[in-house]
Amino acid sequence: MIQDVLKQLGIEATNKGTSTGSDWFGSGAEISSSSPVDAKHIAKVATTTREDYDKVVETAQKAFKDWRLVPAPQRGEIVRQFGNKLRELKEPLGKLVSYEMGKSLQEGYGEVQEMIDICDFAVGLSRQLYGSTIHSERPGHRMYDQYHPLGIVGIISAFNFPVAVWSWNTALAWVCGDVCIWKPSEKVPLTGVACQKIIADILKENDMPEGISCLINGDYKVGEFMTTDKRIPLISATGSTRMGKIVASTVAERLGKTLLELGGNNAIIVTPDADIKMTVIGAVFGAVGTAGQRCTSTRRLIIHESIYDKVKDAIVAAYGQLKIGNPLDENNHVGPLIDTDAVAMYQDALKRVVEEGGNIIVEGGVLEGEGYESGCYVKPAIAEAENHFDIVQHETFAPVLYLMKYSGDVENAIELQNGVAQGLSSAIMTNNLREAERFLSHAGSDCGIANVNIGTSGAEIGGAFGGEKETGGGRESGSDAWKIYMRRQTNTINYTTELPLAQGIKFDI
């Protein structure tokens, strides 16, 4: 099956994984792509050497000089064609995402749909890169601000969304006039090769210079090529908080810019006025979708004591209906974790929550036997815990859900929700208008995303995506997130024969 998918995407098993557009090359050691679905080897991809990398950057720099002069609506036309090609290839690319990463087939298709959606958004944006007109205090002067392309945007993406996050960055950066260099996770290199092949063909068909879209492959050392490189003014990095702190300090040392999308520790507050059925749907999908490997996955369920047992029983009953197995089988709800290291982390979390005084109410464990040969399939688990537990305070990238009680009014629940280092996504389930507005107020959720009567995951591209505190503070995708990919410039034009100074200063000669 997978060989047919690769063929549909125009990928041959001998392709090298480093590209500066239409050409493929790579002279570094090869990395192997294996599927967590069945542990089968898919292909090998060549990694990027320092010499390769410098060639990529030089090609990108050359391309930027031409690309920045292409009118923004024409740049949007290239992105439109990219989105249309993704529509044609949604099925094979979605299958590759599902098989290489391990998420359900529907989520694989959904991730490609996110790519299509952000292309549509970016096409419209290409005609709306607005600045502002500002009234000058000096007569006969016009003042305004405008936005210019930055140059090269370096993108470091994580394994859990192997294509969508890259597209959030590139689609906007391209219409802004930037060129991009992408280092995908070494755990999912083939999805990167597939995406690069698609856009490279489109650029070639439109006689656009290679280097507008570039791909490099390898581990964190290849990422360091970009983070330490003064030629790259912006680094957009998605991953763990630990990784983000390293990236932030490295780029800041050279006074570069960063866009960070880091860890989450997301909670749903369930008040006495919640719709229990909606709560169960939102909480279960949020906790087990992508096998708990989303930065927006639901980690904590904060339930009012008056309905705690009712909600707990409903959630436990729903977990009993989950089907775990091959994610390409649409009857299954939960696929595998990315690798056995992730499985070990999951097992350690369940051990630690018990050691800290928690109570496991839905047993976890690693699945064995036919269909589970990869050793990456685990049972989604639920534990009763306290918010202050050390293991609860840290993100576990696996399907582990912590249940906890709150008493009194919603302010107590909000305090618990905010009482972690991360600040990505949050939600409240309530039909009480006052509780909902309190949750969304200045004194409410401290997260970048705050939802009412939906779960913590499933963000739309129209809104800016990102979080606060140890989530990094970055914003991607919709709203005015495009501004991070540009430099702001203030312009003043004097159309008189006089030269008055600002603040009424006199300088006569």
Name the catalytic one among 107, 111, 210, 261: 261
Answer whether 464's CB lies under 8 Å from 481's CB: yes
Give the Cα separation of 489 and 365 in Å (integer): 56
With beta carbons less than 8 A apart as the criterion, state whether 119 and 147 touch.
no
Query: What is d(CA 19, CA 210) in angstroms, rounded to the nearest whole number?
Result: 9
Reply yes or no on whether 261 is catalytic.
Answer: yes
Q: Which residue has the tokens 């775990």?
A: 324
CA trace torsion 389, 394, 395, 399 (10° rounding) = -20
Q: How many Å separate Cα 85 from the centre of its chain? A: 22
Per the structure block, which two tokens stand in for 348? 């350690």
The C-alpha atoms of residue 93 and residue 45 are separated, in whole angstroms, by 17
For residue 418, report the phi and psi dihedrals to the nearest 5 degrees.
-75, -10
Per-residue HEC secondary structure of 219-236 comes to CHHHHHHHHCCCCCCEEE
Alpha-carbon gap, residue 245 to 27, rounded angstroms: 30
Burial of 110 (0-12, 13-18, 19+ CB in 10 A): middle
End-to-end CA distance of the chain: 82
- SS3 string, 330-362, reads CCCCECCCCCHHHHHHHHHHHHHHHHCCCEEEE
Residue 369 burial (10 A CB sphere; 0-12, 13-18, 19+):
exposed
The interaxial angle of helices 433-440 and 410-418, nearest 10 deg, is 30
- Using DSSP's 3-state secondary structure scheme, residue 47 falls into coil
Separation in Å, CA 314 to CA 212, 215, 266, 356 = 51, 46, 20, 25
Q: How far apart are the C-alpha atoms of 39 and 30, rounded to whole Å?
A: 18
Nearest of 429, 430, 471 to residue 448 by alpha carbon: 471
Maximum CA pair distance of the chain?
Answer: 91
Q: Which residues make Cβ contacts (< 8 Å) with residue 415, sequence separation at least 6?
A: none
Neighbours of 499 (CB within 10 A): 8
Contact indicator for 31, 45 with CB cutoff of 8 Å: yes
Catalytic positions, written as ranges: 261
